[in-house]
Amino acid sequence: MATLTYRDALNQALREEMQRDPDVFLIGEEVGVYQGAYKVSRGLLEEFGPTRVVDTPIAELGYAGIGVGAAMAGLRPVVEFMTWNFAVLALDQIVNSAAKMLYESGGQIPVPIVFRGPNGAALQLAAQHSQAWESWLAHIPGLKVVAPATPADAKGLLKSAIRDNNPVIVLEGEMLYNLKGDVPEGEHVVPLGRADVKRPGRDVTIVCHSKTVSVALKAAEQLAEHEGVSAEVLDLRSLRPLDEAAILESVARTNRAVVVEEGWPHCGIGAQVVDVIQRDAFDQLDAPVLRVTQADVPMPYNKQLERLAKPSVERVVAAARRTLYLD
Amino acid sequence: MATATAQPANKTASSDVERRMLRQMLLIRHFEEKAAEAYALGKIGGFCHLYIGQEAVAVGSLAALRDDDYVISSYREHGQALVRGVSPNAVMAELFGKATGCSKGKGGSMHLFDAEKRFMGGHGIVGGHIPLAAGIGFAIRYRGGDQVCLCYFGEAAVNIGAFHEALNMASVYKLPVIFCCENNRYGMGTAFERVAAVTDVVEHACSYDMAAELVDGMDALAVYNATRRAVERARKRGHPTLLEVRTYRYMGHSMSDPLHGVYRTKEEVEEQRKRDPISQLAMKLKEEGTLDQPGLDALDAEIRAEVEEAVRFADASPDPDPAELTTHVLAD
């Protein structure tokens, strides 16, 4: 077990998969000579050469389409977006081409491709550069969507995504790239579609993913310390397919749930999780399920306003207390 | 290296190739006429974009390809699928939405696929498939192959960003792609010159340092020879080409649209029909003495029977099983 940053764990996954399979290549803005806008692709150009580590113009729609076309012809592209904010320009290729090709061809043309890059807000990047797109992407049949929160999951999920025969969206966290954690060496694969209990607990389940996992863990610590409340932190890891069994299993034990996400509240991932719980765990609930999301506003630039907009430890603690009628 | 000049049509092609092209054009014409009938009878649903008038483009260009080359197209692709060798039965059954269709009834008119024939689909978003063609070209180059990818799109797609992004990258990466713009003059009901600052599509090649050629799309031989030159450039040197093939659609944009009216006159359509690609090639073969009227009549009858059989096959084929609703969403 080595201690790695989230960034280096992703780099290791890319390197190992490119060594394992000559059909895997990386394409995107600044991935080669510049070594990646966030250095996830550091050293890959040197090791694999410009045919397999491909710098592109700033043309998200175009190079996403090149990736999909290459996948149609049997390669396994990894398309890096500098951020998912820019990937909105490529949604036609992700939604209309990649996600639908297998179905509309009657099963003839699989599209084994990974679209990856940082998602969600960082610090003071303002409205256009601070968006969490998971509910848009997880809405689409034909896609798989994962959002790792730890270095180990980043490596294991990216490796699974590259080996999967479908288009897989990997949502990374810009604020997570420097996060350190233990990562199993070599063949470490995390299956798509499996949630993970990051902290076991008895009294309330905090459902979260990506950056909000660390928010939830801090909230659970505070709840334990100050309230004597035992909160379970359930990291979804995959948003499509969603591990409904894991959600229901946890809620069956805790009878309460808070769902946390970086996205906006309207039609968010949390709305989907709440739907699962109300449908299949109705009789086990002791309180309404609450949600903590970004405020329903474009992200402001001002530091104080930005802090107010983001899901915070305080808001998660407050929500958990409400489900326990501690207020 | 950009060239944007019309080259004289090389009028040579073996008579075998010419006869095959005539046969294929007749197949498209009669197939599309039957599709129009079936649409009127409610046997074909949704959108249905016919190729009548544009036959020379598909037959001329596809005659220049090998079986291991790739083809990708827009939603006006019945003719290209047929010429590529997807059986009329499988194409008609797909239009009818039947389980025996080339996309198992899940794609319909706009999404014909045949992986075995390397027919990589009809695609329904204007210009959306042009980057896919570049991607297929990328895969060919990646593997060091000498195949090419032939990509069809209409002139209206030239105003979409995807066209420009794809052409730029195809040129930068030196991808073996032939971008075949079928300029039929109208994007639905909007004349190209009303919405395009540059109306000679070939001129766009200059922006991307790409070879280009302007081609008479009512002349199958001219299309064949221009495509051969482009294929050679792609196969031997890995260079892309932009072909602007000037053609004309006799029918409305789709089956639910008028043939003429607010956006073009009846007289214009009639004038264009005088240069019909099928009549022109039949006349040439007759003049050369390689085909006589009884021969043409026999060929025509044979093809009509083939199309009748396709309709009969599609009619008799079953709908997809209800269980097919949820298959092919994800691959194993």
A96 touches chain B (CB under 8 A): yes
Sheet strands side by side (includes B241-246) = B3-6, B211-216, B241-246, B177-183, B149-154, B70-73, B119-122
| pLDDT attached to residue B141 | 98
Delimit the CATH 3.40.50.920 region(s) of chain A.
196-323
Could you say which residues from 162 to 221 on chain A have a Cβ atom under 8 Å away from some Cβ of chain B?
A: 165-166
B83, B88, B90, B91 alpha-carbon torsion, rounded to 10°: 70
Query: Reduced to 3 states, what is the DSSP secondary structure of residue A45?
Result: helix
A57 touches chain B (CB under 8 A): yes
Determine which of B140, B142, B153 to mutate to test the interface with A (most A C-beta atoms within 10 Å): B142
Q: Do A106 and B102 touch (CB under 8 A)?
A: yes
| pLDDT of B88 strictly over 60 | yes
Q: Which residues of A200-215 are buried (b: 16+ CB within 10 A; e: fewer)?
A: ebebbbbbbbbbbbbb
Delimit the CATH 3.40.50.970 region(s) of chain A.
2-183
Q: Do A73 and B172 touch (CB under 8 A)?
A: no
In chain B, what residues touch A26 (CB-CB under 8 Å)? Answer: none
CATH number of A196-323: 3.40.50.920
**Cα–Cα distance measured from residue B44 to residue B48, given in angstroms and rounded to the nearest whole number:** 8
B69 touches chain A (CB under 8 A): no
**Cα–Cα distance measured from residue A204 to residue A2, given in angstroms and rounded to the nearest whole number:** 32
| pLDDT attached to residue B3 | 47
**Cα–Cα distance measured from residue A173 to residue A171, given in angstroms and rounded to the nearest whole number:** 7
pLDDT tens for each residue of A120-141 = 999 999 999 999 999 999 999 9
pLDDT band at B4 (very low <50, low <70, confident <90, very high): very low
- Nearest CA-CA partner of A215 in A124, A118, A120: A120
| pLDDT attached to residue B11 | 53
In chain A, what residues touch B169 (CB-CB under 8 Å)? Answer: 56-57, 59, 62-63, 66
**Cα–Cα distance measured from residue A214 to residue A224, given in angstroms and rounded to the nearest whole number:** 15
B166 touches chain A (CB under 8 A): yes
A66 touches chain B (CB under 8 A): yes
Q: Do A65 and B132 touch (CB under 8 A)?
A: yes
- Nearest CA-CA partner of B256 in B9, B39, B78, B13: B39
pLDDT tens for each residue of B278-312 = 999 999 999 999 999 999 999 999 999 999 999 99
B102 touches chain A (CB under 8 A): yes
Determine which of B174, B177, B329 to mutate to test the interface with A (most A C-beta atoms within 10 Å): B329
Catalytic entry in A30, A129, A227, A249? A129
| Peptide bond connecting A50 to the previous residue in cis, omega within 30 degrees of 0 | no
Residue A22 has which token pair? 């000559």
- Residue B2 in domain: no
Residue B150 has which token pair? 């032939």
Q: Do A70 and B142 touch (CB under 8 A)?
A: yes
**Cα–Cα distance measured from residue B101 to residue B89, given in angstroms and rounded to the nearest whole number:** 8
Find the closest chain A residue to B123 by CA distance: A97
Question: Checking DSSP bridges between strand B211-216 and strand B241-246, what pairing results, if any?
Answer: parallel
The CA–CA distances, whole Å, from A287 to A224, A267, A279, B298, B300 equal 19, 21, 14, 80, 75
Parts of chain A with a pLDDT under 70: none
Query: Reduced to 3 states, what is the DSSP secondary structure of residue A17?
Result: helix
Q: Which domain holds residue B60?
A: 25-184+214-313
| pLDDT of B157 strictly over 80 | yes
- Nearest CA-CA partner of A106 in B52, B74, B101: B101
Contact between B211 and B241 under an 8 Å Cβ cutoff? The reply is yes
Find the closest chain A residue to B68 by CA distance: A73
Q: Do A62 and B331 touch (CB under 8 A)?
A: no
Contact between B59 and B278 under an 8 Å Cβ cutoff? The reply is no
B90 touches chain A (CB under 8 A): no
- Domain range A2-183, its CATH number among 3.40.1160.10, 3.30.360.10, 3.40.50.970, 2.40.50.140: 3.40.50.970
A300 touches chain B (CB under 8 A): no
In chain B, what residues touch A97 (CB-CB under 8 Å)? Answer: 123, 128-129, 132
The CATH number assigned to the domain holding B143 equals 3.40.50.970
| pLDDT attached to residue A185 | 86
Nearest CB among B70, B111, B169 relative to A66 is that of B169
In chain B, what residues touch A48 (CB-CB under 8 Å)? Answer: none
Q: Is A227 exposed, middle or buried (0-12, 13-18, 19+ CB in 10 A)?
A: middle
Contact between B227 and B150 under an 8 Å Cβ cutoff? The reply is yes
Q: Do A93 and B131 touch (CB under 8 A)?
A: yes
**Cα–Cα distance measured from residue A211 to residue A144, given in angstroms and rounded to the nearest whole number:** 19
In chain B, what residues touch A68 (CB-CB under 8 Å)? Answer: 131-132, 135
- Residue B4 in domain: no
- Do the interacting molecules here have an ipTM over 0.85? yes
Catalytic, A60? Answer yes
- Residue B207 in domain: no
| pLDDT attached to residue B259 | 86
A112 touches chain B (CB under 8 A): yes
Based on the structure, what is the number of domains in chain B?
A: 1
Q: Do B136 and A72 touch (CB under 8 A)?
A: yes
pLDDT tens for each residue of B162-218 = 999 999 999 999 999 999 999 999 999 999 999 999 999 999 999 999 999 999 999
pLDDT tens for each residue of B100-123 = 999 999 999 999 999 999 999 999
Catalytic, A129? Answer yes
pLDDT tens for each residue of B16-69 = 899 999 999 999 999 999 999 999 999 999 999 999 999 999 999 999 999 999
Q: Do B128 and A65 touch (CB under 8 A)?
A: yes
Q: Do A66 and B101 touch (CB under 8 A)?
A: no
Q: Do A102 and B331 touch (CB under 8 A)?
A: yes
| pLDDT attached to residue B249 | 95
pLDDT band at B1 (very low <50, low <70, confident <90, very high): very low
Q: Which residues of B132-155 are buried (b: 16+ CB within 10 A; e: fewer)?
A: bbbbbbbbbbbeeeebbbbbbbbb
Q: Do B328 and A65 touch (CB under 8 A)?
A: no
Catalytic entry in A16, A29, A60, A174? A60
